[in-house]
Structure 1
Amino acid sequence: MQLTRPAPYVVSVFSLMVPLASSAGAVDQAALNGHLSTGFEQDSNVSVDDLNAASNKSDQAWVFDAGLEGVLKPVERLNLTLGYSLSGSRYQNLDQFDQDIHLLSADLSYDFDPVTIGTSYHYSQSTLGSEPFLDFRRASAYLGSLIGDDVYLLASLQEKQKEYEQSNARDADIRGASLDSFFFFNNARSHFLIGLDYDQEDAQADAFDNDLWRVRAVLLNRFSLGGEENRFRLGWRYETREYDQPAVSASNPFLDNPFTGDFVDASTSRRAERVHVFEASWRIGLNETFSLEPSVSHGIYRSDEDSTDYTQTIAGLTFRAGF
């Protein structure tokens, strides 16, 4: 896990899966699902995406993730999904980078067959170094449709807000849009996803106004091994971000606290302009409840500024229980 799973980039799992489930008619009147996982990660360059800051130091972290999801089906074709999750990291040496993320979500969709229309809302609150850090809100409206037997298209419009506890300059309103294409195989147990995102970010400080384009590709394959369910995932993400004011001189420290004192001033644009991230994970089923998941990711961050030109490799192993 890169120190932050950036709140602005949280992908709505519920808004993706609920319309798929409703199209397949697989949701019961009511269902409750949950998970709990814990593990260990080695991070070659501990960083904070939402501050565009890399420490240039490696460390190991204990990571955890727990969540509950309730699915309600008041009437046929109508689905309501409510969720809560808590994830975090605890570093051995760089405890100023410890983080917790609380995420609340709600999703409401109706299947008109062949089109599903829905809306979702997500609110996340994160801490950094045990201090309040970032509040993020995301409201979206989406339209999905199953094309034939093995292709699902999902289009979404979003309104997002970022509020930083210690930096009003980075507070921003964001308008976004996305288009996802799912290609199913293996009797719909596996799929290939290709996605395109666009965000227009209007921050309090003009230095942080930017346009973002993102391309995502994911291959997810479910299969049985030794009589147990396994899931193998390969992912790639490319981002290009263009700022309205790409060059701004620094003056004062960005945050007046001990672990960000070395970072560049809030008036300086530090976000990487070009990003490639490659990911791979394998969830190995031990029985119906427990699984083991090794994972690795490698990020290449390129920018005109040396401070945001770096690479990062994260390798981890987690133990998961699901119900």
Structure 2
Amino acid sequence: MIGSALIKVFRKTYRLLIPAITVIILYSRSEIAFAKSPFQFKASVGAEHDSNVSVNELDSNTAQGDNLASLGADLSYKTRLNKKFTISANVGVDQTLHHTFDNFDLQIRKASSGLSYKQDKTTFGLTGYYIDITLGNNDFLTIRNLSPSISHNFTSQSFIRANFTAADKSFSGRSERDAESGAVGLDYYYFMSGTNHYISLGIKYKQEDSLSSIFDYDGNTFKVRWIKSIEAFNKKTKLRIGWSFENRDYNDAFSAGDERRHDDRNKAFIAWKVPFNKNTNVTFKYEYADFTSTLQAADYLQHTTSITFDFAS
């Protein structure tokens, strides 16, 4: 049960969890905010049920469910150097703790920095990311990427963004999966009532070259998001609904005589964020994933439900 998972998390992380919850409660009561500060701090704690514990990067799933808890913290910095240039930076850590499958616990340490230049209705950006992931308390994966972008406001209702991402992945103990990739993406936003009601559409093409050719693939992704603010409980809540579809054509077979691998990945979600006050929210979320693949280990269904409390300064 979810309660058991939370008890386990408490036993593992009480020295961090108690002060984290205390900070969230204090901020919730006092509604302290640093609106003029270039720094922003975010923290979250949540519980989740996963119907099929899995690791997508390893084409691995257990076909068994588990309850888990999640913790997160981020510190970001953003400031304008002048009317045209803006710089930003972010560091953060996310942790999942499973009730049964401890070897699937993930810790994600991340850092990023960015520079943007705005000229009239057009913005040029450059962002770099570094992500270090442990799996079951063991080194797992390191990702580095660099992404230039360009965005343009056509009208008060229409916004478009294009980007290219060059990435490098290094696996610990699985060097055959080490890969370099390039991806081109395009996103369109249509605002019906500002950020209170809008829809976004996105497409992406990605090519990944691994050390072992059996993991090389070309992929296309299509996604749609609908976001709307809804009045409920005398508060301005936010409803988000999304769907994405990715197809991957791999360049090689896993063994002699096999057909070349092909994946179709459908994902959908619905999330409802309800604010307690200016600083604290609770989000209820359901996600569905249908991964169809000619590789049996990568062919499975997954349902996840979660509740997350978050605080932002």
**TM-score bin (small chain):** 0.7 to 0.9
3-state SS, counterpart of residue 83 of structure 2: coil
Aligned-residue offset at 1:117? 0.8
Q: Indicate the residue corresponding to 2:82 in structure 1.
A: 75
Looking at structure 1, the residues matched to 260 and 91 of structure 2 have their Cα atoms a distance apart, in angstroms, of: 32
State the one-letter code of the partner of 2:269. Answer: E
Q: Indicate the residue corresponding to 2:291 in structure 1.
A: 301
Which of 109, 113, 116 is equivalent to 1:109? 116
Looking at structure 2, the residues matched to 213 and 225 of structure 1 have their Cα atoms a distance apart, in angstroms, of: 38
Contact 1:139 1:158 in 2 (8 A): yes
Q: Indicate the residue corresponding to 2:53 in structure 1.
A: 46
3-state SS, counterpart of residue 68 of structure 1: strand
Which of 153, 163, 181 is equivalent to 1:174? 181
Looking at structure 1, the residues matched to 154 and 230 of structure 2 have their Cα atoms a distance apart, in angstroms, of: 24
Looking at structure 2, the residues matched to 150 and 105 of structure 1 have their Cα atoms a distance apart, in angstroms, of: 29
Contact 1:29 1:72 in 2 (8 A): no
Q: Indicate the residue corresponding to 1:242 in structure 2.
A: 249
Contact 2:252 2:261 in 1 (8 A): no
State the one-letter code of the partner of 2:206. Answer: D
* Residues 154-204 of structure 1: per-residue CA shift (max 9 Å, x gap): 011111000001111000010111000011122343321111111110110
Which of 265, 283, 291 is equivalent to 2:281? 291
Contact 1:282 1:295 in 2 (8 A): yes
Q: Indicate the residue corresponding to 1:201 in structure 2.
A: 208
Higher relative helix content: 2
Contact 1:207 1:269 in 2 (8 A): no
Q: Indicate the residue corresponding to 1:19 in structure 2.
A: none
State the one-letter code of the partner of 1:104. Answer: A
Residues 203 and 63 of structure 1, relative CA distance in 2, 3 Å threshold: same
3-state SS, counterpart of residue 38 of structure 2: strand
4+ runs deviating over 6 angstroms: 268-272
Looking at structure 1, the residues matched to 256 and 44 of structure 2 have their Cα atoms a distance apart, in angstroms, of: 43
What do you get for the CA RMSD once the two structures are aligned? 2.0
Moved more, 175-184 or 29-38: 29-38
Residues 217 and 271 of structure 1, relative CA distance in 2, 3 Å threshold: farther
Q: Indicate the residue corresponding to 1:275 in structure 2.
A: 265
State the one-letter code of the partner of 2:179. Answer: A
Contact 1:285 1:292 in 2 (8 A): yes
Contact 2:43 2:311 in 1 (8 A): yes
Alignment size in residue pairs = 279
Looking at structure 1, the residues matched to 36 and 280 of structure 2 have their Cα atoms a distance apart, in angstroms, of: 26
* Residues 184-243 of structure 1: per-residue CA shift (max 9 Å, x gap): 122343321111111110110111111011111111223443443322111111000010
Trace 1:1-323 onto structure 2 (pairs within 5 A).
Answer: 31-248=38-255, 273-323=263-313
Looking at structure 2, the residues matched to 269 and 100 of structure 1 have their Cα atoms a distance apart, in angstroms, of: 35
Moved more, 123-132 or 286-295: 286-295
Structure 1 residue runs without a partner (length 5+): 1-27, 251-267
Looking at structure 1, the residues matched to 36 and 242 of structure 2 have their Cα atoms a distance apart, in angstroms, of: 33
What TM-score, normalized by structure 2, do the two folds share? 0.85
Residues 86 and 271 of structure 1, relative CA distance in 2, 3 Å threshold: farther
What TM-score, normalized by structure 1, do the two folds share? 0.82
Contact 1:239 1:275 in 2 (8 A): yes
Aligned-residue offset at 1:305? 2.6
Structure 2 residue runs without a partner (length 5+): 1-34
Looking at structure 1, the residues matched to 231 and 252 of structure 2 have their Cα atoms a distance apart, in angstroms, of: 52
Residues 321 and 271 of structure 1, relative CA distance in 2, 3 Å threshold: farther
